[in-house]
Amino acid sequence: MLRGVVDFSVEGTSDLSLGLYFTKVKIGTPPKEFNVQIDTGSDILWVNCNTCSNCPQSSQLGIVLNFFDTVGSSTAALVPCSDPICTSGVQGAAAECSPRVNQCSYTFQYGDGSGTFGYYVSDAMYFDMIMGQSPPANSSATVVFGCSTYQSGDLTKADKAVDGIFGFGPGALSVASQLSSRGITPKVFSHCLKGDGNGGGILVLGEILEPSIVYSPLVPSQPHYNLNLQTIAVNGQLLPINPAVFATSNNRGTIVDCGTTLAYLVQEAYDPLVTAITTVVSQFARQTISKGNQCYLVSTSIDNIFPSVSFNFAGGASMVLKPEQYLIHSGYLDGVAMWCIGIQKVQEGVTILGDLVLKDKIVVYDLAHQRIGWANYDCSLSVNVSVTTSKDEYINAGQISVSSSNFCSFYKLLHVSIVSLSLYIVLV
């Protein structure tokens, strides 16, 4: 049996003051469209409920906010405590239940201090299905998602308000896991996030095929996408960092999270990295400090003077960062461009690889083989994708192309998809 490839349109902005990539989902009967932030650091798809007391009512991203109404959808059903998906969610701390109301609910706290709570709903998600060379046919699948009734922190602010968050974590409650467990999609998804000012990119439930992709095994039995980061090199020279600072434990490790705007590195690795970069550029750039970050005044192209940085992982896979994948353009000082180290220092804890280092790369989350792969790539180009058989054998399913013609307002949010406002399953 062949599994399908689902293609989501991706919008957003690579402006790191916002750092937001989002896609559209269509749920309910009649169908209603929601803009939801893409996040591989959490599991759940949730959207704002019409009963939400403090959800933002408008967005400065140039989109109209929508609210889900469980009464207004004829196919919506509340998820009771006895539902198996709720039972498994409670075991994994993704759900909670009150016997008094027999309603499966959730409370989530995100790394930036924002939070949300609400209850789970089962309803139809709509997409177009392509059967071989036939025209697209309307189809749907029932999925469980969250209906949020309260927000806190940055989730309440209008500057980057969307309708919810689309979690692509490895948990059983993620939509990707729900669809793959039923054989609708393969156990792999991929993204390619554009790093220029227009943002956008590609997101597929399926594998993007690219010969230069390298893979590193996932750390088993983790709630996030943890990798074994072993060493860091600058221009090929290994830095004096104890590998133990990257080892996975209760409060250590390295995770891949496209829902995080920048990247975060433990102090024991951050300090030697910044020192090495500064040494390389000391003759060509003047140093300064801005908002606590190491910055450089540069009068030429950063590609000409800044070194490459390599994060080296288990399995021999290296993630090579170009200067624009670890630097942030922070304006001008005395008429000279100022570039700052975009990777942030954490005193202790988890190293997080966010959009700053993941942009302009194909990233493949291959859960069937418990590994993550990546390759530098121009995400404005089309990509080859594959489907899998029930034995996880990969078959080329052709290309997904990126549209570069549709721009939204103010932030110039780039809309990229095969056909706008749609998500696709491709079966061959």
Residue 155 per-residue DSSP state: G
Q: Which two tokens stand for residue 127?
A: 């997409």
CA distance 285 to 272: 19
Strands 286-290 and 293-298: antiparallel
DSSP code at position 407: B
The answer to whether the beta carbons of residues 145 and 139 sit under 8 Å apart is: no
Cβ(36)–Cβ(47) under 8 Å? yes
Residue identified by tokens 């054989």 is 183
Q: What are phi and psi of 278, to 5 degrees?
A: -65, -40
Q: Do 373 and 213 touch, CB atoms closer than 8 A? A: yes
* HSE-CB for 418 with a 13 A CA cutoff: 22
Any idea what the Cα angle at residue 236 is, between residues 233 and 237, rounded to 5°?
65
Question: Per the structure block, which two tokens stand in for 416?
Answer: 């990229």
List the catalytic residues. Answer: 39, 257
Are residues 388 and 174 in contact, defined by beta-carbon separation less than 8 angstroms? no
Give the closest residue to 357 by CA, choosing from 308, 407, 415, 304. 308
Which pair of structure tokens corresponds to residue 165?
Answer: 């968050």
Task: Supply the DSSP string of 377-414, one letter for each residue.
Answer: --TTS-EEEEEEBTT--EEEEEEE----S-B-STTTPB
